Amino acid sequence: MAIEDAAASALCDVMEKALIEAGIAPAMARTLAERACMPVAGAVVAPIAKKARKVNKTAARKMSAALREANKRMRTKSGRLRKGKTQADVMRLAQRLRRKM
């Protein structure tokens, strides 16, 4: 923490000097530099997104193909589910087909 505080302090000083050189009054420059260097309370840092693993990509690709096949089997020509079948049945069949792939 001490290193981060020292770095933040140094950057505030640099900012203050730059503001003074830009023609802003020294008192105002100091206030602006201090405000800019204050941590924001409750700031949320977005997590870095991880790349999808090869295993996940492969599983998703197989599941996509399995869903196409399951829908083909469970639906009529018009696209309606067959009598007595539900979307849960379609997904169960797709999971079973994916495991066989």
3-class SS of residue 81: strand
Residue 17 Cα to chain centre, angstroms: 38
pLDDT digits over 37-89, tens only?
A: 776 666 667 788 888 788 889 999 999 999 999 999 999 999 999 999 999 99
Burial class (CB in 10 A: 0-12, 13-18, 19+), 70: buried
Q: Is residue 93 scored above 90 in pLDDT?
A: yes
The whole-number pLDDT of residue 98 equals: 95
CB-based contacts of 54, cutoff 8 Å, min separation 6: none
In this predicted structure, what is the pLDDT of residue 84?
94
Domain assignments of the chain as residue spans, ordered by start = 2-37, 54-100
**For residue 75, which phi and psi values (nearest 5 degrees)?**
-115, 155
Q: Is the pTM of this model over 0.75?
A: no
The runs of H, that is alpha helices, within 22-82 are 26-37, 54-74
